[in-house]
Amino acid sequence: MKKLVLISVSLLCGFVFNLNAQLYIKIDASFYSLALDTTKKVDIYLPNDYYENPDQQYATIYYLHGGNGNQNSGHTEAMLYYNFHSGDTAITSPPAIFVCPDGSCEPYGGSLWVNSELYGNYEDFVIQDVISFIESNFRALPDKNFRMITGTSMGGFGSAWLSVNYSDKFRACFPYIAAFISFPDTTLNTWRTLCYEENGSYNLNPNVGGNTQLFFTGCGAWSPNINIEPYHVEIPFDTLGNWVDTVLNKWYQFDISRKVKDLPGENELSWFLGCGTLDYMITYPAYQVFMDSLNFYDIGYDYNYFEGGHVYNAETWIKGLHWIDSIINHSYQTMGIEIIKQNKNQLMVYPNPVSDQTKIEFTLSDNKSVYFDLHNIAGKVVTSSNFGIISKGKHSVSWDTQNLPSGIYFLRLQVGNEVVTKKIIKL
């Protein structure tokens, strides 16, 4: 039976006052993947007011990390997204849920987010398991118009591969610095040279250097062969450096520029492209070939290329995420999905029921005194805290409930002369 188990919520320990309200709620989760037959991790970022209105539904941005990364690798991009969203008055829809699954695996740099006999079914992991887990456990809209996918390097390829093969699942794709978004000769020849320089010959060992390991990562995704010892892959050139057509043909099946022709004519899948023009991995020529295909098949796209290498570029990410946000906003408006206006004076407690930690959020319309106390079901005060005069605005309190006995409690917040009470269940 398929298990979906939420493992933990990452919150600050103790009973700590934070004058600058957080931009998001981060959840570290694990769940059983049927496609991989193992438990995998996923980081989930929720809008900071997610628990204020239980009827609000959200779009979802899926972020796929790069080689040698894991579910934690999307933290910077998630922070960037919530930061600029909070300051963009042109966007009226709520921020999206930001999801970062773990695509790491042995024996090389990662899964490349495809189904591979060497790595496992990571394509199915995302499409079947991750999306199902998110939409079953969070208020994510189960509609392609509210699913976006992006990623970096290996994840850039993965986002493009998944969106072009499952265009019914995603509304927009932002593949970033994906060297193998297409396979032009310039990219293939450069990688052959990089491997030769690290190994001193065309007889490759994945342990001699980072570039060779990344090349083997591609081999494990596009030309795996578990019967070949010791590395279980087919290399697309021989020990003399000659290209092997039978292996190259396997690689070409993963060429995204060749796959866009299969997109249905009525499909609406938008693209935003970004990479460095000086990337030593020869990313930019691969994107040029990909753009040629998009142009040929009259598929629209936006882009931001920068003068740099295989690196994080904040300007490109801001433009790409803003582009995604504008598509999400448009989908809310055109599809008639309700955008619930938040009651800013509402006391919010989450998670509830609570286990070891919880968080309290509230908003002050003016500078006022703030006092908390917690009553058990018999009316006895279990704990209390007086914060004195607090400035207006949104605030948060993190609370360690590990030693609180199980049962039903009532949290009372007094702001000036006003009192709000919330029932809390301690597991």
CATH number of the domain residue 389 falls in: 2.60.40.1930
Nearest-CA neighbor of 180 among 155, 204, 203? Answer: 155
In a domain, 165, yes or no: yes
Do 97 and 211 fall into the same domain?
Answer: no
Q: Report which DSSP code applies to 224.
A: B
In a domain, 6, yes or no: no
Question: With contact defined as beta carbons under 8 Å apart, do 324 and 61 qualify?
Answer: yes
In a domain, 4, yes or no: no
pLDDT at 6: 34
380 burial level (CB within 10 Å; 0-12, 13-18, 19+): exposed
Q: Which CATH number does the domain housing residue 74 bear? A: 3.40.50.1820
Give the Cβ contact number of residue 67 at 10 Å. 22
Residue 296 main-chain phi, psi, to 5 deg: -65, -40
Q: Report which DSSP code applies to 243.
A: B
pLDDT at 22: 65
Do 41 and 107 fall into the same domain?
Answer: yes
Of 308-317, 329-338, 364-373, the range with the highest mean pLDDT is: 308-317
Q: Report which DSSP code applies to 209.
A: -
In a domain, 342, yes or no: no
Q: Please provide the size of the chain in residues.
A: 427
Which tokens in the block code for residue 177? 């610095």
The β-bridge partners of 408 are 425
What is the per-residue pLDDT across 134-175, written as a single tens digit (0 to 9) for each?
999 999 999 999 999 999 999 999 999 999 999 999 999 999
Do 198 and 217 fall into the same domain?
Answer: yes
Residue 107 main-chain phi, psi, to 5 deg: -105, 0
Taking phi over 0 as left and psi of -120 to 50 as alpha, with beta for the rest, 356 belongs to alpha
Give the Cβ contact number of residue 414 at 10 Å. 16
Do strands 97-101 and 60-64 pair parallel, antiparallel, or not at all (unpaired)? Answer: parallel
Tell me: pLDDT of 13 over 50.
no
Tell me: pLDDT of 307 over 50.
yes
Do 175 and 194 fall into the same domain?
Answer: no
In a domain, 267, yes or no: yes
Q: Name residue, tokens 């769940």.
A: 31
Cβ partners under 8 Å of residue 399, min gap 6: 14, 15, 357, 358, 359, 360
Do 161 and 231 fall into the same domain?
Answer: no
Tell me: pLDDT of 264 over 90.
no
- Alpha-carbon radius of gyration of the chain: 25
Alpha helix positions (H), 336-404:
none
Alpha-carbon distance values, 126 to 26, 123, 182, 327 (Å): 20, 6, 22, 22
Do 55 and 157 fall into the same domain?
Answer: yes
Do 159 and 296 fall into the same domain?
Answer: yes
345 pLDDT band, cuts 50/70/90, is: very low
> What pTM was computed for the model?
0.79
213 burial level (CB within 10 Å; 0-12, 13-18, 19+): buried
What is the per-residue pLDDT across 98-123, written as a single tens digit (0 to 9) for each?
999 999 999 999 999 999 999 999 99
Question: With contact defined as beta carbons under 8 Å apart, do 410 and 422 qualify?
Answer: yes
In a domain, 35, yes or no: yes
Do 226 and 79 fall into the same domain?
Answer: no
What is the per-residue pLDDT across 163-206, written as a single tens digit (0 to 9) for each?
999 999 999 999 999 989 999 999 999 999 999 999 999 999 99
pLDDT at 168: 95
In a domain, 340, yes or no: no
Distance of CA 53 to the CA centre of its chain: 23
44 pLDDT band, cuts 50/70/90, is: very high
Do 293 and 317 fall into the same domain?
Answer: yes
Q: What average pLDDT does the segment 210-225 reach?
A: 97
User: Domain tally for the chain?
Assistant: 3
pLDDT at 20: 39
In a domain, 359, yes or no: yes
Do 153 and 259 fall into the same domain?
Answer: yes
Do 167 and 55 fall into the same domain?
Answer: yes
Q: Which domain holds residue 288?
A: 16-182+255-335
Question: With contact defined as beta carbons under 8 Å apart, do 42 and 30 qualify?
Answer: yes
